[in-house]
Amino acid sequence: MKPNFLGMVPWYSGTSADLFKTMFDLLVSVTVFLGRFDMRMMQAAMNKVEDGVEQDFFYDHFSEKDDFWFDFMADTGDGGNSSYSIARLLAQPSLNVTTSDSMLSLPRGNLLLIGGDLAYPNPSAFTYEKRFFRPFECALQPPPWYKLEQIAVNKPEIPTGISELKQYDGPQAFLIPGNHDWFDGLHTFMRYICHKSWLGGWLMPQKKSYFALQLPKNWWVFGLDLALHGDIDVYQFKFFSELVKKKVGDEDSVIILTHEPNWLLDWYWNDVSGKNFSHLICDHLKGRCKLRIAGDLHHYMRHSCVPSDKPVYVQHLLVNGCGGAFLHPTHVFGNFKEYCGATYETKASYPSFEDSSRIALGNILKFRKKNWQFDIIGGIIYFVLVFSMLPQCELNHMLQGDSVSGHLKSFFVTVWVAFKYLLEHSYVSLAGALLLLIVSVTFVPSKVSRKKRVMIGVLHVSAHLTAALILMLLMELGIETCIRHKLLATSGHGRIKDKHLPEGNGIIVTWRCCDILCFCVSLFLGLFHSRCLTSFWKLLIHLH
């Protein structure tokens, strides 16, 4: 029986209750709890310590395996079909991959690492169960004796007949939270990840939101929880720094897992973030970090360090956020080259820079097919902007004249007069324009300077206001034309409207203005990289 998965989150519909709940949760998390309450501190306070090691964060049951594979994905729990596609691939006992000269058989990973943003648009029982757990359960079923509503109070809850976690040979999963998982203060993540034992057929031994895994052949995985701060807290830093000092050898290799790829985002925003974990990488690991992996950006990019005489703190940088959510562009990161004083070169990207640019440009025309509900919002906005100026009674001068240039000049002069009238006399429309300006300025990412945000907001609102005024005058001209030809009292209103009135495309122009802004500003100013692509592209990573 075909599963009835949920569709992709309608980010631009404006009609989804989940989106309003997401905005409310984010507002509460940022304004009320951020800097005042941190679930990571409570986890540290409740941790068990044995033999000088914090047992709830440290796992070494993989360390004695002879052969070891692990998979990595991030940013799943959006559309059911796309999330299931990735989960199904991860669940296969083996995958046959064709290379240029051979066929490779890749076994299923002993370990699945998931890099955050487990369900969109917000963390709740509904989104976790329907958007995250259900696709994985359909891909690889949990043990028949396991009850989905069961709460794990003494993890790991391993199957009967197995005395310790080292003996369990099935696939296991470890997860870190992303920014979307923190919108409710990590409540849902703790309930469904730290207090449940199975993600489909993957055992989940972890008890906290961050962890350290000791792998075979002197390899380690440090899974960091950056919360909404973009950095690890003091207690998390203390745990990992002491672990490096006590257990990580000088010749060991460490993989750092975070949700955000700050090497790209810091370059993109010309910012410096994650000072605590940068201190951990540069001053404590001292070159032992061979790989950094992250999600958050919904694409695939891999960079490798260019050999030089400078100290290298991280050898490889990898982003894979293609776990089932919508797509982010890669072309806006095409000029990234430096991190922690070392030089890097792009080894691979998916989609390619050329495909990314093409998709972003094509989305100007294709956006409406997927987001037709946005027409409702656009129509209401344009109506609020111009309704107090209806009707326009003096338009005869626009129909007079012999040349096209004369008509156009008269038309745009009338648009300018209407614009000045709106600012000076039309208080309701002016209030609507000011409200739209506030929203437009807020829409610009907060890391942009205030002056630049205001400039972009003003340009954005000006484009919408101009389009609304032009469409209003075109409608009035159509009515005036019908009056002149004595057509308003005749029958066949639908045919007359189609023949003599310009098409009412205000709602279409609204989204096209928004989408052209996203593409152009992304191309020329480097903003809105998360708003200009699609949900079609998917990817997973399999490592040995």
Encoded tokens for 158: 């391993």
C-alpha pair distances (Å), 484 with each of 148, 403, 487, 494, 498: 71, 19, 8, 18, 17
Residue where the block lists tokens 């101009």 = 466
The pLDDT value given to residue 398: 67
Per the CB < 8 A criterion, the answer to whether 108 and 171 are in contact is yes
The pLDDT value given to residue 391: 74
Tell me the C-alpha distance between 235 and 389, whole Å.
Answer: 60
The pLDDT value given to residue 14: 62
The pLDDT value given to residue 529: 54
Which domains are assigned to the chain?
Answer: 40-362 (3.60.21.10), 373-524 (no CATH)
Per the CB < 8 A criterion, the answer to whether 195 and 46 are in contact is no
What strands lie across the sheet with 541-543, from one edge to the other?
A: 198-199, 202-203, 172-175, 111-114, 70-73, 541-543
Tell me the C-alpha distance between 410 and 401, whole Å.
Answer: 9
The pLDDT value given to residue 506: 47
Name residues whose C-beta falls within 8 Å of residue 221's C-beta, 6 or more positions apart in sequence: 70, 113, 174, 211, 212, 213, 215, 254, 255, 257
Integer-rounded Cα radius of gyration of the chain: 28
The pLDDT value given to residue 535: 52
For 257-293, how does the pLDDT look when each residue is reduced to its tens digit (9 = 90+)?
999 999 999 999 999 999 999 999 999 999 999 999 9
For 413-470, how does the pLDDT look when each residue is reduced to its tens digit (9 = 90+)?
888 888 888 888 888 888 888 999 998 888 888 778 889 989 999 999 999 998 988 8
Q: Write out residues in the chain with pLDDT < 50, as ranges.
A: 490-509, 511-512, 514-528, 536
pTM exceeds 0.75: yes
From the list 305, 377, 316, 373, the residue with the least C-alpha distance to 342 is: 305
The pLDDT value given to residue 516: 46
The pLDDT value given to residue 173: 98
